[in-house]
């Protein structure tokens, strides 16, 4: 059972544009929602994370928006740069954050 | 500070052969995870250790996979015998688990296994 659904599978954005990736979850016990960035040949690296007590969290050009009632959350990459070209994974876990369930990933390509 | 170290980075074996992967977590991290990442998919948890204890191995195919974390530091994941479907990237991650701390998981670079 895929408990975290991620879309789109891939997207192409022009440099300076906004990349938006969406995730939906089913398990209402989830309350920790991180996003990971993965470059080819590397392991996933934590980008930003949110807990459901806030609806938005911003770190630099990266923003998570969270909608608890809809069980959805999204990643916005502002002013996208070619160096942001990577695969992005959303994930979710329970309170302890120790059992992550990952989405299927979104391959982002930023064109110069 | 050194990150999660894994070896080997690449491994090519024939089916039915055994293979082992090694992981050294970030110093001080008491929780260690093994994930499998199939091509084009997100990582899937195989096993989680808290110190020396495997606290979640529900997704580990125990007929051919085994893992150990002696002394609560390094860990080894073994497959015997390997099957074609085991071709994937095997990721190790670690985190610090306890009251009042954040639980970010830090991943190693992974071992890419190809079974022919």
| pLDDT range class, residue B96, cuts 50, 70, 90 | confident
| B44/A contact by beta carbon, under 8 A | yes
Tokens for B18, please give them: 């055994």
CA distance A80 to chain B (A): 22
Helix (H, G, I), strand (E, B) or coil at A21: strand
Q: B25 CB near a chain A CB, below 8 Å?
A: no
- Facing residues of A51 across strands? none
Q: Hey, which CATH number is domain A4-111, 2.70.98.10, 3.40.630.30, 2.60.40.10, 3.40.50.2300?
A: 2.60.40.10
Residue A98 and residue B106: Cβ atoms within 8 Å? Answer: no
Residues from chain A that touch B26, judged by Cβ atoms under 8 A, are: none
Given a contact cutoff of 8 angstroms between Cβ atoms, the answer to whether B95 and B31 are in contact is: yes
Query: Shortest CB distance from B41 goes to which of A43, A99, A105?
Result: A105
- For the ranges A11-15, A108-112, B103-107, which has the lowest average pLDDT? B103-107
To the nearest whole angstrom, how far is the Cα of B108 from the nearest Cα of chain A?
5
B30 in A contact zone (CB under 8 Å): no
DSSP state of B73: S
Full set of structural domains in chain B with CATH: 5-98+106-115 (2.60.40.10)
CB contact under 8 A, A91 and B104: no
Mutation to test the B interface, candidates A46, A98, A107, most B Cβ within 10 Å: A98
B47-90 tens-digit pLDDT = 999 999 998 998 999 999 999 998 889 999 999 999 999 999 99
The model's pLDDT over A91-107, given as tens digits with 9 standing for 90+, comes to: 998 866 578 999 999 99
Residue A49 to residue B29: CA distance in whole angstroms:
20
User: How far is the alpha carbon of B97 from chain A, nearest alpha carbon, in Å?
Assistant: 8
Domain boundaries, chain A: 4-111
Question: Can you tell me the mean pLDDT for B26-38?
Answer: 94
User: pLDDT tens-digit profile of B6-25?
Assistant: 999 999 999 999 999 999 99
pLDDT at B97 over 80: no
Strand (E) or helix (H) holding A8: none
How confident is the model over A40-53, as a mean pLDDT? 92
What is the C-alpha to C-alpha distance for residues A32 and A49, in angstroms, rounded to an integer?
Answer: 7
CA distance A37 to A104: 13
Q: CB B91 to CB A43 under 8 A?
A: yes
Chain-chain contact of B45 with A100 (C-beta, under 8 angstroms):
yes
> Minimal Cα–Cα distance from A70 to chain B, Å?
23
User: How far is the C-alpha of B14 from the C-alpha of A14, rounded, in Å?
Assistant: 43
């Amino acid at each position: 059972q895929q408990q975290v659904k991620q879309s789109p599978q891939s997207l192409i954005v022009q440099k300076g544009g906004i990349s938006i990736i969406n995730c939906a979850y089913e398990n209402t016990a989830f309350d920790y929602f991180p996003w990971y960035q993965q470059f080819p040949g590397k392991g996933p690296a934590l980008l930003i994370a949110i807990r459901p007590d806030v609806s938005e969290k911003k770190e630099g050009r990266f923003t998570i928006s969270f909608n608890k009632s809809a069980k959805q959350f999204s990643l916005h990459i502002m002013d996208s740069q070619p160096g942001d070209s990577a695969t992005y994974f959303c994930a979710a876990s329970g309170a302890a954050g120790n059992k992550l369930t990952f989405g299927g990933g979104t391959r982002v390509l930023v064109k110069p | 500070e050194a990150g999660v170290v894994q070896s080997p980075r690449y491994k090519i074996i024939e089916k039915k052969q055994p293979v082992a992967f090694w992981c050294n977590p970030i110093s001080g991290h008491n929780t260690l995870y093994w994930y499998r990442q199939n091509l084009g998919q997100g990582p899937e948890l195989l096993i989680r250790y808290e110190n020396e204890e495997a606290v979640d191995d529900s997704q580990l195919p125990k007929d051919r996979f085994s893992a150990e974390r002696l002394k609560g530091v390094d860990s080894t994941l073994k497959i015997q015998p390997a099957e074609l479907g085991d071709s994937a990237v095997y990721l190790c991650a670690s985190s610090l688990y306890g009251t009042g701390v954040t639980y970010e998981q830090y991943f190693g670079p992974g071992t890419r296994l190809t079974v022919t």
